[in-house]
Amino acid sequence: MTNKAEARPTIGVIASRYPRTGGNSMLSGIGEQYLLAVEAAGGIPLLIYLSRDAAVIEAHYRRCDGLLFAGGGDIDPLIFGQSPHPKLGTVEPLRDDVELALARRAIEDAKPVLGICRGIQLLNVALGGTLYQDIPSELAESSDHYASAKATGRAHLAHPIVLEPGSWLAARLGTHELPVNSFHHQALCDIAPDLWVTGRAPDGVVEAVEGLGSGFVIGVQCHPEELWESADVRWAQLFDGFVDVARQRALATI
């Protein structure tokens, strides 16, 4: 990835919360690979912990030149007008609240956003779309989209995706088809009006979206933070491009 000499943009990465082993307290954090990918692309990752204090979230938001919405648990289906499916996984109400508010505000402000796994689903819901709550139950002809979790190493390439000609992602990666890892049991269903589907798996499951507005909005269903270093270095260009857009926007607003 490039080592930019210009001012490095700050990329907010929203954290999750985890129970501490053997205790009643919680840990706050996110997978280190997200942070390393942003750092290698020339950005400064800023971990935004989940807080109910609006002033804290506001201060973090103002410091950020772009936002990365990472993987994690399921989004509460009540948010997009559905009852919980029997196969619904763990939901984090506070994370839903914080991320939805940040996503909607960033898109309105044309602040660059990147969504990964849960993140692509979060962007779709934030903009008015819905989700399949459990792929195996709701899409009978689908392939195994949780296959990489059953393999050794998170870089296991489970299936190919096909990217739309003319999409930012296809141009950035230099290809219209490539293999990806896969760790999700949910997927995009009704697509939000302001999103364009730019990638699909062979079974039709949505794997990438891009925004139709003036701002930079990208979502991918795979986990490129686990691929860019060695498994498929083309994914480095996703992070490099995202950070470049955040840098240019930051310079333009000085």
Would you name the residues annotated as active-site residues? 117, 223, 225
Decide: 69 and 122 in contact? Cβ < 8 Å.
Answer: yes
Cβ density class 204-229: b for 16+ within 10 Å, e for less: ebbbbbbbeeebbbbbbbbbbbbbbb
Token pair recorded at residue 159: 């299936």
Nearest to 129 by CA among 238, 211, 224, 14: 211
Q: What is the DSSP letter of 239?
A: H
Alpha-carbon distance 252 to 246, whole Å?
A: 10
Cβ atoms of 250 and 5 closer than 8 Å: no
Task: Quickly count: other Cβ atoms within 10 Å of residue 249's Cβ.
Answer: 18
Q: Which two tokens stand for residue 163?
A: 């990217």
Residue 232 in contact with residue 154, Cβ under 8 Å?
no
Residue whose pair of structure tokens reads 């399949």 in the numeric block = 132
